[in-house]
Amino acid sequence: MSESVIRVIPRLDLRGRRPGLRELRAALPRAEFDVETALATVRPIVEDVRDRGAAALHDAAERFDGVRPASLRVPAEVVSAAVDTLDPAVRAALEESIRRARIVHADQRRTDTTTRVADGGTVTERWVPVDRVGLYVPGGLAVYPSSVVMNVVPAQLAGVPSLAVASPPQRDHGGWPHPTILAACHLLGVDEVYAMGGAQAVAAFAYGFDEGEQTCEPVSLVTGPGNIYVAAAKRLLKGLIGIDAEAGPTEIAVLADVTADPDHVASDLVSQAEHDPLAAAVLVTDSVELADAVEAALGRRVAATKHTERVATALAGRQSAVVLVDDVEVGLDVVNAYAAEHLEIHTADAAAVAARVRNAGAVFVGTWAPVSLGDYCAGSNHVLPTGGCACHSSGLSVQSFLRGIHVVEYDEAALREVGGHVVSLARAEDLPAHGEAVLARVPEVEPGA
């Protein structure tokens, strides 16, 4: 294929080179409109919610979702009634998704550990769930009942006592969140649900608000996926609230060699591109033959899929590319530098290559584990870090909702034994009052003893 051809997806040719991390970070495809850019848009929205509460939330709903909900809190009977109209096949699928997610997440629960450091001296790590969390469920271009499952299951297994869900009001559904989202909430036993979306929902959870008799108390942690505005609001409010990770517009990277099935690869790239025009699809391969075949398959699939325009925009955007490399070794450098939300491995020895991946939100090994399996029913969590955050953050899990609190218990003899060292270090830091606090209890200890 000549370079003058207009491609469905850009190409980046790294053959003949083994770039380092700095060069890769500069070269690899990223969206032009990123979280940093979106901060300017979300700041006034967040400040308006902080200052005007419910009134700001209604105005934002009208402006961004085209509807003013009758109330921000969805009445409990509306939540429960949604199950009555749920398609039985969707109900069965949701129940299976919940069942598998519970199996996997139950294994993530932590037990307290007590370590005896010295005679009479112990440190216990006590795992305590966050008191109250706000769970964001997207509902703009698509609706995401699966994200109800992915948020609620780990929060419940962590033992969070108070959890609330927010999802954008839907014009076609009387201003309430989509009924499938409400039904998923009901199936999971969640009844505190709000009709609010985007940055304003994150702000509402962070600050809390009153509406008539109702109060939405502020939360300590907001989790869940969302578009670029949701991710930007999480970044802006981090500190006031905890966040899981920036789980913004979806990304898929595929590391493949000539043994890969081009149609499987193309179908997976399209499946993630359909989330958002800002979604990223990246194929990293050492095979020009595969790259050409995937591109041909993409051409066919993009034309045939339901959301052609959205997918075509995502694939053609600056955030997507076919990256050509010399071999799988360099391919691993590239995917580790890119730190994709989702990484698929389609190589001859997929499990061995997958074992060498260091940075990814989730890894899908071989041709029978497509990302869409993980989106719904693998048992894994689909709320995953984006924008390179997978090099330092994890996907949502039970751990996301827990804090480890160290409980320190020393008796007098144990303090006496180590007290001299505390005094020495306190003096070394020019914080002598620290040492004096020990000497007030055990005056006879000698520094360094």
- Binding region for ligand NAD (CB under 6 A): 41, 64-65, 138-142, 147, 168, 197-199, 225-227, 229-230, 247-250, 275-276, 279, 341, 382-384, 386
Q: Which two tokens stand for residue 115?
A: 């370590």
Minimum CB–partner distance for residue 314 and ligand NAD (Å) = 9
Q: DSSP assignment, residue 421? A: H
Minimum CB–partner distance for residue 34 and ligand NAD (Å) = 12
Q: In whole angstroms, what is the distance from residue 138 CA to residue 152 CA?
A: 14
Minimum CB–partner distance for residue 245 and ligand NAD (Å) = 8
Residues of each annotated binding site for NAD(+)? 136, 200, 227
Nearer residue to ligand NAD within complex by CB, 249 or 435: 249
Minimum CB–partner distance for residue 320 and ligand NAD (Å) = 13
Nearer residue to ligand NAD within complex by CB, 90 or 405: 90
Residues of each annotated binding site for substrate? 250, 272, 275, 342, 375, 429, 434
User: Which position among 58, 105, 342, 346 bears the catalytic label?
Assistant: 342
Beta-carbon-side half-sphere exposure of residue 33 (alpha carbons within 13 Å): 15
Residues of each annotated binding site? 136, 200, 227, 250, 272, 275, 342, 375, 429, 434
Residue 31 amino acid letter: A
Phi-psi region of 199 (alpha: psi -120 to 50; beta: other; left: phi over 0): alpha
Cα 143 from chain centroid (whole Å):
17
Minimum CB–partner distance for residue 196 and ligand NAD (Å) = 8
Q: Per this entry, what is the length of the chain?
A: 449
- Concatenated DSSP letters of 32-69: SS-HHHHHHHHHHHHHHHHHHTHHHHHHHIIIIIS---
Nearer residue to ligand NAD within complex by CB, 350 or 390: 390
Based on its alpha-carbon atoms, the radius of gyration of the chain, rounded to whole angstroms, reads 25
- 307 catalytic residue (yes or no): no
Close Cβ partners of 30 (under 8 Å, ≥ 6 residues apart): 280, 318, 319, 387, 388
Q: In whole angstroms, what is the distance from residue 415 CA to residue 438 CA?
A: 8
Nearer residue to ligand NAD within complex by CB, 141 or 431: 141
Cα 267 from chain centroid (whole Å):
23
**Residue of 369, 362, 355 lying closest to 393 (CA atoms):** 362
Cβ-contact 229, 246 below 8 angstroms: no
Q: Is 147 helix (H, G, I), strand (E, B) or coil?
A: helix
Tokens 């060498």 belong to 356
Minimum CB–partner distance for residue 375 and ligand NAD (Å) = 7
Residue nearest to ligand NAD (CB): 198
Q: Is 435 helix (H, G, I), strand (E, B) or coil?
A: helix
- 125 catalytic residue (yes or no): no
Q: In whole angstroms, what is the distance from residue 379 CA to residue 122 CA?
A: 37
Nearer residue to ligand NAD within complex by CB, 151 or 347: 151
Minimum CB–partner distance for residue 341 and ligand NAD (Å) = 5
Cβ-contact 269, 275 below 8 angstroms: no
Nearer residue to ligand NAD within complex by CB, 149 or 354: 149
User: Which position among 251, 295, 341, 417 bears the catalytic label?
Assistant: 341
Nearer residue to ligand NAD within complex by CB, 185 or 445: 185
Q: In whole angstroms, what is the distance from residue 364 CA to residue 369 CA?
A: 6
Which residues are known catalytic residues?
341-342
